[in-house]
Amino acid sequence: MSKAVFSLEPALELELEISETRFGLLPEDLFRLAVRQNTQRAFLFVSKVLGKHLPVEPAALLAAGKLLALAWLDQKDEQGWAGILKGSTASPFSEVWDRLEHSRYSLGMEDRALFLGFAETATGLARAVADCFDGEMAYISTTRVDRAGASPLTFDEAHSHARTHRLYLDPHDPFMAACQQVVLVDDELTTGNTALRLIRQLHAVYGIRRFTLMVLVDNSEGSNRRAIEQELGIEIRVFSLLRGHIAQVRTGELPPLSLSDYRGAAGEAPALLSLPGNALSDRTLQSASALALQRARCRSIATQLGPAPSETSTLYLGAGEFIYAPALISGFCGGHAFHSTTQSPVFPMAGSAIVSGVCFDPPDCYSPVGYLYNVPDHAYREATLFVEEGTLRPAGIGQLAAYLKSKGIGKVTVVAL
């Protein structure tokens, strides 16, 4: 067992005891630490692969999903996926994508699986895992979207800034009638209570007995998971890229909050490009064939947009829960910097994973507020923001565009899908 100490003095110090890693990955390959504006939990493991808080290579998201899939299948990394996360392998996105396309694993009826991602942070990662499979499989994500007249499964995430999750899964869907297992994907596992609440409901409604939790980092102790296994007579397996235990957390005085606040500002009207077509969100069950059509549409959209004018000076952004499709399109366009807006309130400070940020009015219909982090001054000339046509809110989008221009980005384009 090894120990890693993360220090953001005087605000925070965290000791992590590491008991297992996979594929030669180290903590610094997967995450950094930040201070969180949340009374339930003072820290945040800020992922370096999700494309959420921090800009990443789009291929990193695919690689993280593939490595979790390999762990589940008990297979070795023979194609260098871990090297993408460690920064030791730099292949063009098209080559990475072709590698993924030709190594997809087909599930049979006896292993029919529903892959499920948790909003908002892990929707991209979960979909990257699901895209490693074909055959008898489907995908869906939880959401904060409240649809009038619908009756979703609901459950809470106690330490979250936006607690209530909704799962719009039809109890009469024929896929679920013969579903053998559910694979739940999240970025990090601490108590596991959020996932266990959903597992309890899925077992009650569909009678499913085989469950898998896939996470980048597993810091759970496991006793509550074993208790539910025994109570319900089910199996819950856990696969992660790093397993550890949070040994100690010390909190102290925070410096003054250095967060730009554009809420209520007039904003700017960015260039708007509407590309209507089949929805690219995953808030309802998507079959393997539907996922293939979504992938093809992402490639088609990238062709319509054309390659990035300058690969290193164009920033691509997703919005809220809308991560995976924007990341794919960014990769197909040749982009090297992708991340997303978030509801997550983080405290920017020197030495932290988060050193700068902006707060703005909701960019969509389900977020109470919007944040974007770590856009350096004069690092990009252009920015492309991908949004969902049916959820966007112009005021928040306009404020975000104004902030991006204040960072030296001359052209901001909003692509509504």
For 143-257, where are the alpha helices, taking DSSP H only? 174-177, 193-206, 223-232
Is residue 170 over pLDDT 60? yes
Confidence of residue 151 (pLDDT cuts 50, 70, 90): confident
Element containing residue 141 per DSSP (H, E): strand 137-141
Is residue 104 over pLDDT 90? yes
245, two tokens:
């235990």
Is residue 157 over pLDDT 70? no
Higher pLDDT, 415 or 172: 415
For residues 337 and 310, the answer to whether their CB atoms sit within 8 Å is no
Q: Residue 35: its pLDDT value, please?
A: 94
Confidence of residue 149 (pLDDT cuts 50, 70, 90): confident
What pTM, to 2 d.p., does this model score?
Answer: 0.96
User: DSSP strand E in 221-313: where?
Assistant: 235-251, 260-261, 271-274, 286-287
Q: What would the mean pLDDT of 141-169 be, rounded to a whole number?
A: 77
Q: What would the mean pLDDT of 180-193 be, rounded to a whole number?
A: 94
Is residue 143 over pLDDT 50? yes
Bridge partners for 242 per DSSP: 21, 217
Is residue 267 over pLDDT 50? yes
Geometric angle at alpha carbon 380, from 377 and 385, rounded to 5°: 110
Confidence of residue 254 (pLDDT cuts 50, 70, 90): confident
Question: Which tens digit of pLDDT belongs to each residue from 53-101?
Answer: 999 999 999 999 999 999 999 999 999 999 999 998 888 999 999 999 9
Q: Residue 311: its pLDDT value, please?
A: 62
Element containing residue 12 per DSSP (H, E): strand 12-21
How far is residue 99's CA from residue 101's CA, in Å, rounded to a whole number? Answer: 6
Taking the alpha carbons at both ends of the chain, their separation in whole angstroms is 47
Q: What would the mean pLDDT of 250-279 be, rounded to a whole number?
A: 90
Q: Residue 73 in 3-state DSSP? A: helix
- Domains of the chain plus CATH, in order, are 50-244 (3.40.50.2020), 260-416 (3.40.50)
Is residue 161 over pLDDT 50? no
Question: For the chain, what is the mean pLDDT?
Answer: 93
Q: What would the mean pLDDT of 123-139 be, rounded to a whole number?
A: 98
Question: Which tens digit of pLDDT belongs to each residue from 13-61?
Answer: 999 999 999 999 999 999 999 998 777 788 999 999 999 999 999 999 9
Sign of CA dihedral 93, 99, 101, 104: negative
Is residue 212 over pLDDT 90? yes
